[in-house]
Structure 1
Amino acid sequence: MSARSLFRTAGVVLVAFGVSGCGVPGPATPAEAMAPLRRDLSLPAKGDRTEAVTVSYLVAGDPVGPRLILVHGTPGAAEGWADFLSDPPPGLEVVALDRPGFGLSGPEEGAMTTLDDQANAVAALLPETRPAILLGHSLGGPIAALAAARHPDRVAALILLAGSLDPGLETIHPLQRVGAWAPVRSMLPRPIRNANAELLDLKPQLEALRAELPLIRCPVLIVHGTDDDLVPFSNTAYAAANLTGACAVETTVLEGADHFLPWNAVAAVRAAIARAEEIRC
C-alpha cells in the first residue's frame, strides 16, 4: 500500500471513530478548570507488565464522604466528567480517572485493553473504610461491573450508564480491522489506537464477564436512552437478566435520549447518583 493510501486509510478510520465516539458532546466546564484536582497513583507491575503504571485521576468534593468513582468509555478521559467535579453531589467525594491508556495515565507504549486490567485500575481507587459507588458509562459499564463483582464488600452501589454488557450486540466494523493493521495503527492518535484495541477484543471478554455478573451483590441502577445508536437499549434487558445476585436492580428508561448521557442528560445522571446513595438492601 502506498504512503498516500496509508494516510487515506488512517483518515477514514479517524472519521469512523469521530462519528461513533470521538466527535461527541462534552461537559460545559472547561478542561483547564480541572488541573488543580489532578492526582496520581501507581499500579504495580503484574503478569507480563514489568513496570508500574501511573493512573491519573481527578478528585473533588467531600474527602470523608462516600466515594463516587466515575469510569469513562472508549475513548475518553477524566475531564469528560468535569460538570460533576466542578459541582459535586453534596456529601460525596467524586473521583474520575483517566483509564490506563487514556488521558494522562500510562502506559505510553502498549495498551492495557482487557476488562481485567481496567477493572484493576478502578479497584485501586476503592477506599478501604468508606463506601463506594461505581458509575460506568459505555465501555466503563462492564469495567465498573467487573470491579464490583471482584470486590463486593467494597462497593455499595453500581450505576450502569448506557453500559455495553451484551456480547451478542457487539459488532466489528471492517475499518476497525484496518485500524489494527500496524502501518495504520502507528498513525492513529493514542486514544483512538487504544480504543480500537479495546473494542476489537470486547465480545469474548463480555462473554467471560457473564459468569461474573451474578457475583455483584450491591444495588444496581441501569440508566439508558431509547435512542442510543452506539450501545443498543436492549443491553438493559441483558443486564437485568444476568445480575441475579444483586440485592436490587432498577432500570431508568430515558425516552428519546442518545448515548451521551453524561452531557445530554445531566439531571438524570445526578438523579441516579442520588438514588444510589439512598437505596438500601
Structure 2
Amino acid sequence: MSHRIITWKRAAVSGGLFLLILLGVSVGFSGCMSFQKTDAEIESHFSERGQSIPDFYEHEDDVGSVFLAQKGEGAGVVFVHGSPGSWGDYVHMLSDVGLTSDFTVTAVDRPGFGRTRPKKAEPSLEAQARRIHDAVIASGTPVPALWVGHSLGGPVAARIAADYPESVSGLVLVAPSMDPELEKRKWFNWLGKVPPIRWGLSYEWRNSNDEIFPHKSELVKLGAKLGDLRTPTIVIQGDKDKLVPPGNADYVKRVFPEGVVELRILEGVNHFIPWSHPHEIKRAIRDLSARE
C-alpha cells in the first residue's frame, strides 16, 4: 500500500511538472498573446461600439487561401501580426473610428495562422510576402499602402517593401525581429520539438516554433535587400523588450539607407506595443501619411 501511494505521488508530481513546462513553453513562444477570435467575439466587439463587423476576404492562391479583414475608406493601411497571432490582434484598430474614417484598414492572417490555409508553417519570408501581398491587392486595399508589422510580422512587411515597392508607401515596424545576429533559439523552442510536448501544442504554437528555427537564415536573405529600400520607415521599439532585443531597432537603422529610418524608442515598454501603446502606432501611421 505504501509503495502504491509513493508511486501515485510520483506520477502526480511528474504530471504537474509536465503541465508547468507545457505552460511555460506556451507563454514563451508567444510573440503576440492573441489568437483567432470567434465569430461571436468579433460581432460582440463591434456591436458594443455600435459598428458593423469588417468585410472579410479569402483569397485563393496556388497554395491555399489567405484570409483578411477590412474596414474603412481612404488610403490603405495593412497590419501584419507576429508569431503566433491573427488578424484579430488588430481588432481595436479596425474599430477605431478615427482611423477607419481616414484609412482603409486591412489586417491579415499570416500563412500558418488564423483562417489562412493550409494550417502549416511557411518559413519563407519571400513566400509569405508574395501570398499576403497578392491577397491584399485582390481585396481592393488601395496601394501604395502603409504596412505595419509587429514582431515577426516586421520582416514580412519589410520583405513586401523589398519585393513589391510599388505597393508600399511607408513602413511601421513595431518591435521587429530583424537582426540575424540577435536571432537566438531559446530553450523552449527546442523543448517544443520534443514529440510529447509538441503533440500537446495547438497548431498555432507548433507553426510558431516551426517558423522560428529557419528565421535566422531568412533574415540573412532579407538583409541583402534592405540596403536598397527607399521606403520611409518608422521603427517603434520598447527598451524593456525581452522577446525581441532592442538591438533589432538599431540594426534596421544601420542597414537601411541613410535618412530612411526614424527610431522611436519607448522607455519602460515591453514587446506588446500594439496593445499597450496603440496610440504610438496610430501616430506613426499619420506621420508617414502626412509625408506622402
Same fold (TM over 0.5): yes
Instruction: Name the counterpart of 2:5.
Output: none
Call closer, same or farther: CA 1:260–1:123 in 2, change over 3 Å: same
Call closer, same or farther: CA 1:6–1:141 in 2, change over 3 Å: farther
The alignment-based identity, stated in percent, is: 32
Instruction: Name the counterpart of 1:202.
Output: 215
Contact 1:133 1:158 in 2 (8 A): yes
Contact 1:166 1:238 in 2 (8 A): yes
Q: Deviations over 1:29-87 (max 9, x none)?
A: x5443693252333422xxxxxx41211111111xx21100000000011110111001
Distance 2:142 2:237 in 1: 31
- Please report how far the alpha carbon of residue 97 of structure 1 lies from its aligned counterpart in structure 2 after TM superposition: 0.7
Call closer, same or farther: CA 1:80–1:183 in 2, change over 3 Å: same
Matched positions, count: 265
Instruction: Name the counterpart of 1:67.
Output: 76
SS at match of 1:232: coil
**TM-score, normalised via structure 2 length:** 0.82
Instruction: Name the counterpart of 1:150.
Output: 163
Distance 2:22 2:65 in 1: 28
Q: 1:255 aligned to 267, 271, 291, which one?
A: 267
Instruction: Name the counterpart of 1:41.
Output: 58
- Please report how far the alpha carbon of residue 14 of structure 1 lies from its aligned counterpart in structure 2 after TM superposition: 4.2
Distance 1:216 1:145 in 2: 9
Distance 1:273 1:111 in 2: 29
| Bigger shift: residues 113-122 or 16-25 | 16-25
For 1:73, the aligned partner's letter is: G
Q: 1:107 aligned to 103, 118, 124, which one?
A: 118
Distance 1:96 1:128 in 2: 11
Contact 2:182 2:245 in 1 (8 A): yes
Instruction: Name the counterpart of 2:109.
Output: 98
Contact 2:155 2:177 in 1 (8 A): yes
Distance 2:191 2:71 in 1: 40
Contact 2:34 2:88 in 1 (8 A): no
Instruction: Name the counterpart of 2:287.
Output: 275
The answer as to 2:248 corresponding to 1:235 is: yes
Any stretches of 5+ residues in structure 1 without a counterpart?
A: 46-51
More helix by share: 2
SS at match of 1:211: helix
Any stretches of 5+ residues in structure 2 without a counterpart?
A: 1-10, 36-40, 47-51
- Please report how far the alpha carbon of residue 101 of structure 1 lies from its aligned counterpart in structure 2 after TM superposition: 1.1
Distance 2:195 2:127 in 1: 23
- Please report how far the alpha carbon of residue 183 of structure 1 lies from its aligned counterpart in structure 2 after TM superposition: 4.5
Query: Structure 1 residue runs of 4+, over 6 Å off?
Result: 3-8
